[in-house]
């Protein structure tokens, strides 16, 4: 044990910060301002996206999902409204990772124990800092930690005098507006995603397995510096395209079939979701007309979505276009959601844009916002779905569609 600890103590990899220190300082300032406006004195962040946003923390194993009870997800970052530094709580096994990514100076590791449950330790340390005298927010809407551990946290914090409430919206709202550095990451993610789409298009052919197409797309993105997406990208062929969240399998693509490729380019955990539909033969005339009309909607999107435009206005313009084009009744789902930082199991952000919903219609798009936009329509005779997805950046200089250099999918698959 001593030898192992000595090896860890002397291991200092070259730092790999995701952003410059002043970027993190600006983020912390915004978070504390939001905490003050919401009456949150102390915030304990457990969502991987939140921990990454404030520190660059990146772990492949977050003790979420089906982790054993001996390994509860209790690591996190504590922020206080009155202090300009954060405290990272974690197991000592992650020490080298902390040095590589975070650059944080106040890191407190749980005492060694059989269960690695840090809830009592976190509560004791925050109490000793005087950070539990008011309201503490936990991220109730995060899947990490699970209900059992979240309730244990709440009980131990309340036993030490804190008043616990949901603080999920603090980080979610702060992350809505991206900094110039974040927008640069999204542009790079879009470039990487375009590489993946091109590789997928070239790999599609009758007799090729769906997972083989997926493998080529992931490899191409990896060679461009792309990281593993938060969602296993669907590559679906034939009638399977009608189930948009099905997984690629060893099914072999048939002749004269539609093939949907829905992926995300990833740069420093920032995701740009892009999708296209290709055919292994000539698409039917009805499907070609539908695809052309769906592609035309992106020009309307680009012209309409600008800083200061409301979701209600955007919804009305998109609905008018689809009705005039005669494809509205063929829709599966039209809309989008916020893009940005993501870890498994999802790359969906907090805000959802849905022209058919009354929720969120008051949202104003500002410079520094990023959403995807999904065209999903049923093919003729409901044989499957047509997909075309863009990630859209709204900036002072204009609106950018990140995959417009990728063919619209009306040509047959295979090498261009």
In the 3-class helix/strand/coil scheme, how is 102-143 assigned residue by residue? Answer: CCCCCEEECCCCCCCCCHHHHHHHHHHHCCCCCEEEECCCCC
Q: Is residue 345 part of a domain?
A: yes
Task: Work out the pLDDT band at 62, boundaries 50, 70, 90.
Answer: confident
Structural domain contains residue 116? yes
Q: Is residue 115 predicted with pLDDT exceeding 90?
A: no
Task: Look at the alpha carbons of 214, 220, 390, 370 in this order and tell me if their dihedral is positive or negative.
Answer: positive
* Domain boundary residue, one of 174, 200, 218: 174
**Mean of pLDDT values over 215-235:** 98
Cα–Cα distances (Å) from 97 to 41, 54, 107, 394, in that order, read 29, 15, 12, 34
Could you tell me the pLDDT band of residue 382, with boundaries at 50, 70 and 90? confident
- CATH number of the domain that 258 lies in? 3.90.230.10
What pLDDT is stored for residue 53 in this prediction?
A: 98
61 within domain boundaries = yes
Query: 255 and 300: one domain?
Result: yes
Residue 403 has pLDDT above 90, yes or no: no
Mean pLDDT estimate for the chain: 93
Angle between helices 48-55 and 21-38 (to 10 degrees): 120
Q: How many domains does the chain have?
A: 2
Quick one: what percent of the chain has pLDDT higher than 90? 85
Query: Could you tell me the residue range of the domain that residue 103 belongs to?
Result: 2-174
| Residues 67 and 210 reside in one and the same domain | no
Are residues 251 and 308 located together in one domain of the fold?
A: yes
pLDDT exceeds cutoff 90 at 2: no
* CB 118 within 8 Å of CB 89: yes
| 8 A C-beta contact, residue 47 and residue 139 | yes
Pair 163, 195 in one domain: no
Angle at 411 between CA 408 and CA 416, to 5 degrees: 95
Last residue of a domain, one of 108, 142, 174: 174
11 part of a folded domain: yes
Q: pLDDT value at position 407?
A: 57
Q: Is 277 a member of any domain?
A: yes
What does the pLDDT read at residue 416? 57
Reported confidence tier of residue 389, pLDDT bands at 50, 70, 90: very high
For the whole model, what pTM was predicted?
0.95
Per-residue pLDDT averaged across 218-240, rounded? 97
Separation CA 23–CA 26 (nearest Å): 5
pLDDT tens profile 310-360: 999 999 999 999 999 999 999 999 999 999 999 999 999 999 999 989 888
pLDDT confidence band for 65 (50 / 70 / 90): confident
Domain boundary among 174, 197, 226: 174
Report the alpha-carbon distance of residue 51 to residue 39 in Å, rounded.
Answer: 21
411 in any annotated domain: no
- What is the reported pLDDT for 76? 97
Q: Is residue 334 part of a domain?
A: yes
Please tell me whether residues 21 and 132 are part of one structural domain: yes
Query: Does the pLDDT at position 4 exceed 60?
Result: no
pLDDT at 1 over 60: no
Higher pLDDT pick, 414 / 200: 200
State what percent of residues in the chain have pLDDT above 70.
Answer: 94
Query: What CATH number is attached to the domain comprising 101?
Result: 3.40.350.10
The pLDDT, as a whole number, for residue 12 is: 84
Residues 159 and 303 both lie in one domain: no
pLDDT score of 122 more than 90: yes
Task: Give the integer Cα–Cα distance in Å for 286 and 396.
Answer: 39
Residues 149 and 197 in one domain: no
Residues 71 and 123 in one domain: yes
What pLDDT is attached to residue 69? Answer: 86
pLDDT of residue 5: 58
Same domain, residue pair 92 and 135: yes
Supply the pLDDT for residue 409: 55
Residues 130 and 196 in one domain: no
If asked whether residues 392 and 280 sit together in one domain, one would say yes
Same domain, 243 and 115: no
- Determine, yes or no, domain membership for 39: yes
């Amino acid at each position: 044990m001593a030898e192992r600890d000595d090896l860890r103590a002397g291991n200092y990899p070259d730092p790999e910060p995701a952003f410059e220190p002043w970027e993190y300082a600006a983020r912390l300032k915004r978070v504390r301002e939001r905490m003050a406006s919401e009456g949150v004195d102390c915030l304990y962040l457990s969502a991987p996206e939140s921990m990454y946003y404030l520190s660059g923390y990146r772990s492949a194993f977050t003790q979420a999902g089906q982790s054993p009870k001996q390994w509860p997800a209790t690591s996190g970052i504590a922020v206080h409204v009155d202090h300009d530094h954060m405290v990272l709580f974690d197991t000592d096994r992650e020490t080298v990772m902390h040095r590589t990514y975070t650059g944080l100076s106040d890191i407190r590791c749980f005492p060694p124990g059989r269960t690695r449950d840090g809830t009592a330790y976190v509560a004791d340390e925050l109490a000793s800092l005087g950070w539990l005298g008011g309201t503490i927010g936990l991220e109730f809407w995060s899947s990490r930690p699970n209900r059992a551990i979240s309730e244990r946290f709440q009980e131990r914090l309340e036993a030490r005098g804190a008043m616990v409430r949901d603080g999920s919206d603090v980080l979610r709202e702060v992350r809505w507006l991206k900094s110039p550095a974040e927008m640069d990451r999204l542009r790079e993610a879009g470039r990487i995603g375009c590489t993946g789409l091109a590789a997928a298009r070239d790999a599609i052919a009758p007799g090729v397995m769906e997972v083989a197409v997926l493998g080529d797309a992931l490899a191409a993105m990896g060679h461009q510096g792309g990281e593993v997406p938060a969602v296993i990208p669907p590559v679906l062929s034939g009638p399977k395209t009608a189930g948009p969240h099905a997984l690629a399998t060893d099914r072999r693509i048939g002749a004269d079939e539609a093939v949907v490729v829905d992926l995300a380019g990833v740069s420093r955990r920032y995701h740009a979701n892009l999708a296209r539909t290709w055919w292994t033969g000539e698409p039917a005339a009805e499907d070609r007309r539908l695809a052309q009309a769906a592609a035309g909607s992106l020009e309307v999107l680009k012209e309409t979505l600008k800083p200061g435009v409301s979701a209600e206005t955007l919804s009305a313009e998109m609905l008018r276009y689809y009705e005039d084009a005669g494809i509205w009744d063929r829709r599966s789902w039209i809309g989008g959601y916020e893009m940005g930082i993501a870890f498994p199991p999802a790359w969906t952000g907090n805000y959802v844009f849905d022209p058919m919903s009354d929720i969120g219609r008051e949202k104003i798009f500002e410079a520094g916002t990023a959403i995807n936009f999904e065209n999903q329509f049923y093919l003729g005779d409901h044989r499957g779905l047509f997909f075309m997805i863009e990630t859209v950046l709204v900036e002072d200089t204009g609106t950018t569609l990140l995959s417009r250099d990728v063919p619209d999918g009306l040509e047959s698959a295979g090498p261009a």
